[in-house]
Structure 1
Amino acid sequence: MLKNKFKILAVTMSLTLMGSLFTGCGTSKTGGNTTGKSTIKVNIAADPKTIDPGLNNSVEGGHVITNAFEGLTNLDKNEKSVPGVAEKWDVSSDGLTYTFHLRKKAKWSDGKTVKASDFEYAWKRALDPKTASQYAYQLFYLKNGEAYNTGKSTAANVGVKATDDYTLVATLESPTPYFISLTAFPTYAPVRKDIVEKNPTTWATKAETYISNGPFKMVEYKQKDSLNFEKNSNYWNAKNVKIDRIEFKTLENESSYYSAFKTGQLDLIDKPPAAEIPGLLKDGTAKSYPYLGTYFYDINVSPQAKGVNSQAAKVLSDARVRKALNLAIDRTSIVEKISKGGEKPATSFVPLGTSDSNGNEFTNKEYLPKTADVSQAKKLLAEAGYPDGKGFPQLEILYNTMQNHQNIAQAVQDMWKKNLGINITLRNVERKVHLTDLQKHNFLLGRDGWIADYNDAMTFLDMFTTGNGNNNTGYSNTKYDQLIAQAKAEPDKAKRAVLLHSAEDQLMTDLPIIPIYYYTEVVCMNKKLKNVHISNLGFFIFRDASLQK
């Protein structure tokens, strides 16, 4: 009886707290807004670590940046590249030189003209080793981009040049069939040199300095609460932007933000509580969208792992152990009994639906079983010197706050105990700490997820090259690095696809990762909110959205 009483009290306190989070905020037209503005409230599930286009590498930050900034191109509702700041472009016959012609009407939110030099500055800033951008490698397609980032060349030699205020010339290392789609990605967005260099560490944390060039501009940033944006009247296509205000909420608890959606305090959420998903999909409250991504665990195989736990680091350096951990997981059980969003068990790292740029779907291999192969897992663990888990050190799974992450971690914990006889502890931290610990390799096993930056297998594979800013595992294999480098330089699409498959073969042999499932994006949306682009690259884009009266 006391447990139930405390539970009721806890729920009451949670609802009271949730109500306080929205006190004083304007409501959407569906809630009777008296200001006459169409305001929507969107939950992004965490306070972004950063919303600096050159530094962000999280989905929550990406939601904000893709609505505040505009690159040379945009993605339309079919994920095709369409003109953005660049109204047109030319490509040389050898596929190495791109000349972008910028709109003369493109303005920053403070009214100043968007210039080609703003792009040149932004791209070179992201490549500058002093910036320490985890996404610097996404600009290695530029001539001498990697050389500059690794200290072997200078900024002046990087293949991007503003030849005048409205012309930007990009020169590539090798022909890159998806380069145009890359120019819509946040890291390729322009930033203003005068703004950034005046406030290098704080410019992206204050409304007065967060000068952007997209359809929305920041008007208020409440840490751990909301990031509030309004329509940017200086945006070149402002007349077609129908949403007046977006409030990006940062609620991390699924029950809290789902309750807020049910009571009309939020207009859009994703990842509702897993137990609710089947019913929400059935009655149409939620919809499942395509999502090019993989949910997985990083295995820390970096030198820093010794500083976390030297004994565990030694054990995890054995490929037989890493494979045993992979084989002992029942992925089908996880997607059917825990996540429940229509996800597919991940038997490889590159997810289903990804292109090989040769006109085919890339994924055609199953490296891992969909259900656990306990006998083979036990055999490998015994060969590594730990029969039935005897003498095996205790490991720890790091994950960020969300009930689904906790449920999956507990399931994996139970599977490894039952199937291998090994003990696992769990560590739950807020998102910012989670991202920092992954980046600094301050973990043994870490919850991770990767969503495509563009529809090509390369976006899932080049992140595991040696020293890559998004390679949280610390994995390093010379053969793998060479295969990725060869694939990037290979103009023949069929040969390139073979090289990428060989790279994934190597990755899935070494297994510095534990793929769990391929994502789906389950979204609950106010039925009066129309034309929101739920991108399969992981962004909510409101450029063309509208809110019916």
Structure 2
Amino acid sequence: MPRFARLSALALLVTPLASCFGTGDRPVQVVAIGDPQSLFSADPRMPYAARMLRAATVEGLVGFDEKGNAVPALADRWIVTDDGLSYIFRLRDGKWGDGSDITAEAALAALQQAIGAQRGQPLGANLAVIEEVRAMAGRVIEIRLHQPMPDFLQLLAQPELGLVHGRRGAGPMLSRRASDPDLKLSGVLLTPIAPEDRGLAPEEGWKDHTRRLRFSAGSAVPTLKLFADGKIDLVLGGTFADYPRIDAAGISRGAVRMDPVQGLFGLAVVHADGLLELPENREAIAMAFDREAIANLINLGGWITTTRVVNPGLDGDNGSIGERWVGRTIEERRALATSRVARWKGLGHPLSALRIALPSGPGNDLLFERIASDLKAIGLDSRRVGAAADADLRLIDTVARYPAAAWFLDQLGCSAINQLCNPTADQLVDKALTEPDPAKRADLYASAEAQLTITNSYIPFGVPVRWSLVSGNANGFAPNRWAIHPLMPMAMLPR
């Protein structure tokens, strides 16, 4: 597919505001934790706030509802062939934001542009499952896959795959830049678009059951204070780093909603030099960490720890790869790790302090203290550096876009990240892409995970932590597996 020029996020998101309507109440206030400018980021690896805003203003063929289910968007219905290799979408009878008809040819060009923008990014590796996209009849698009993918609709619903035509999307909300001087927040004011203006059937009384929504991005401390003071209705995008701030802000635990996500939360090896040159030394570091103690750092009951690259029990996991060092106590593991460090030092190699890159936040402050203590127990010093600084080990904290082994392996592939990788694992994943037999495909994924495990290029701690804060004035929110919380349902009032 051809590579298309990227559009700036501002061009995608800032559109004329429709006339005011709704209940007349103040807009629902929603803030995503993050850099205030992240809302308008043009980075293909869209920050969380930018992804939520794009999903509200630039629909794809399908989208997410509040429970994380794939639902109709530009396509109002679809069928999947019996072999699971072809998805045929019927586009709704509507118009783009510029007033032109939604056609298969226009949607095809927009989808190719969205896919092209993800090349060389982690999501781009996931999209390699697509073999061909073609326009059929006037409003019909077919997507053919290399292999069946049960979670393909979840992948297609990602905000990055929203379709742009004439520098604008097709709803379901219109946005304009709008500051809130009282709250000292700069963001956008979102207005729901009436169903009939989107090519859908009119709904009686629809305007009486909608409200506008003000969406911003803001740093954690002031955002949580505003929520505690009752001035914000929902806070989205919370992570391990800021989890301890909830209690510090005096917020009731009844307002906290945890997303049951899966994904990567651990340390990636950035440079394979010095002590990290040998895989057995990298394994020594992996053995040093007390994962249960990490879970206790922020009093997070039920947090799932793992020593595996792939979260266990997912689609494509045949069960042949288990947890590591089963039957060995943490003391036994550290004794073995200490002997490897001592042997390296005894050969005359210098031991510099390992540079650990972590984002800011009290949760990560506690995490670094734990990391430093565990490394000290096997004879290694460490020092913390900024999240974007050059480092030896860097925290990866990212939620799985779909629950399959392929997602994890793609994220750790040589083309997706700037860290130590294993070309053999990549070759196995590539081979799995065109393997028609599910059992053989699962074997290939297991072999790829085994390669990454032997390489010790990624040191898992457990699954990511994602949380939100929800007030009594909020509607349309539900925890889900993807930690994606669409804004449109939050603007709808109960009937």
Aligning the two structures, in what range does the TM-score lie when normalised by the shorter sequence?
0.7 to 0.9
Check 1:541–1:457 CA distance in 2 against 1; reply closer, same or farther (3 A cut): same
Alpha carbons of structure 1 residues 428 and 363: separation in structure 2 relative to 1, 3 Å: farther
Evaluate the alpha carbon distance shift between residue 502 and residue 231 of structure 1 in structure 2; reply closer, same or farther with a 3 A threshold.
Answer: same
What amino acid is aligned across from residue 216 of structure 2 in structure 1?
A: K
Aligned partner (choices 284, 287, 293) of residue 257 of structure 2: 287
Match of residue 286 from structure 2: 326
Give the aligned partner of residue 244 of structure 2.
274
Mapped to 1, the partners of 2:65 and 2:129 lie a distance apart of 23
Match of 1:356 among 315, 326, 336: 315
Are positions 1:472 and 2:418 aligned together?
A: yes
Partner of 1:421: 379
Q: Would you say 1:167 and 2:140 are equivalent positions?
A: yes
Choose the corresponding residue for 1:444, options 388, 392, 396. Answer: 392
Q: How does 1:150-549 map to 2 (within 5 A)?
A: 159-192=132-165, 194-195=166-167, 211-220=168-177, 226-233=186-193, 234-236=197-199, 244-253=211-220, 255-269=221-235, 270-271=238-239, 273-274=243-244, 276=246, 283-301=253-271, 313-338=273-298, 340=300, 342-352=302-312, 355-356=314-315, 365-367=322-324, 371=330, 373-383=333-343, 385-386=344-345, 391-417=350-376, 419-428=377-386, 434=388, 442-468=390-416, 471-478=417-424, 480-545=425-490, 546=492
Unmatched runs of 5 consecutive residues or more in structure 2: 1-21
CA, structure 1 residues 348+236, in 2 after alignment: closer, same or farther (shift >3 Å)?
farther
1:184-209 Cα deviation digits (max 9, x unpaired) = 122322122x42xxxxxxxxxxxxxx
| Percent of residue pairs bearing the same amino acid type | 22
CA positional deviation for 1:488: 2.3
RMSD (CA atoms)? 3.6
1:108 deviates by 3.6
Q: CA deviation at 1:297?
A: 1.6
Return the match for 1:67 from 56, 73, 98: 56
* Contact map agreement 1:54 1:133 (CA 8 A) in 2: no
Matched residues in 2 for 1:292 and 1:389: separation?
42
Evaluate the alpha carbon distance shift between residue 134 and residue 84 of structure 1 in structure 2; reply closer, same or farther with a 3 A threshold: same
Work out the CA distance in 1 between the residues paired with 2:471 and 2:428.
Answer: 46
Specify the code of the residue in structure 2 equivalent to 1:421: G
Corresponding position of 1:43: 32
Deviation sequence 1:229-257 (CA, Å, 0-9, x none):
4124244569669553333332333x432
Question: Deviations along 1:86-142, whole A, 9 cap, x unmatched?
Answer: 12223344433332110012x444444433334422443345489755532232122
* Maintained 8 Å contact 2:297/2:366: no
What per-residue deviation string (whole Å, max 9, x for no partner) do you get for residues 158-201 of structure 1? x2122354121222233333323322122322122x42xxxxxx
| Amino acid in structure 2 at the alignment position of 1:72 | L
**Separation in structure 2 between the aligned mates of residue 268 and residue 364 of structure 1, nearest angstrom:** 40
- 1:282 to partner: Cα distance: 8.1
Q: Is the 8 A contact 1:73 1:183 kept in 2?
A: yes
CA distance in 1, matches of 2:364, 2:210: 33
Question: What letter corresponds to residue 290 of structure 2 in structure 1?
Answer: D
User: Cα gap change, 1:519/1:299 in structure 2, threshold over 3 Å: closer, same or farther?
Assistant: same
The answer to whether the 8 A contact 1:339-1:404 is kept is no
Moved more, 367-376 or 514-523: 367-376
Q: Is the 8 A contact 1:351 1:363 kept in 2?
A: no
TM-score by length of 2: 0.80
Query: 1:111/1:38 Cα in 2 relative to 1: closer, same or farther (>3 Å)?
Result: farther
Letter in 2 for 1:425: R
Write the distance in 1 (CA, Å) between the matches of 2:267 and 2:87: 38
Secondary structure of 1:376 counterpart: helix
Aligned length: 456
Q: Which amino acid aligns with 1:504?
A: E
How many angstroms apart in 2 are the aligned matches of 1:110 and 1:389?
Answer: 69
Point out where structure 1 has 5 or more consecutive residues left out of the alignment: 1-32, 144-158, 196-210, 303-312
4+ runs of 1 displaced by more than 6 Å?
278-282
CA distance in 1, matches of 2:322, 2:305: 13
Amino acid at match of 1:286: V
- Structure 1 residues 323 and 477, CA gap change in structure 2 (3 angstroms): same
Please name the residue that 2:19 is paired with: none
**In the alignment, is the contact (CA less than 8 A) between 1:288 and 1:341 conserved in 2?**
no
Relative to structure 1, the CA distance from residue 275 to residue 70 in structure 2 (aligned partners, 3 Å threshold; closer, same or farther) is: closer
Q: Distance in 2 between matches of 1:49 and 1:508?
A: 34
Report the Cα offset of residue 388 of structure 1.
12
Question: How far apart are 1:335 and its partner, in Å?
Answer: 0.9
**Structure having greater relative contact order (Cα 8 Å, sep ≥ 6):** 2
Contact 2:171 2:198 in 1 (8 A): yes
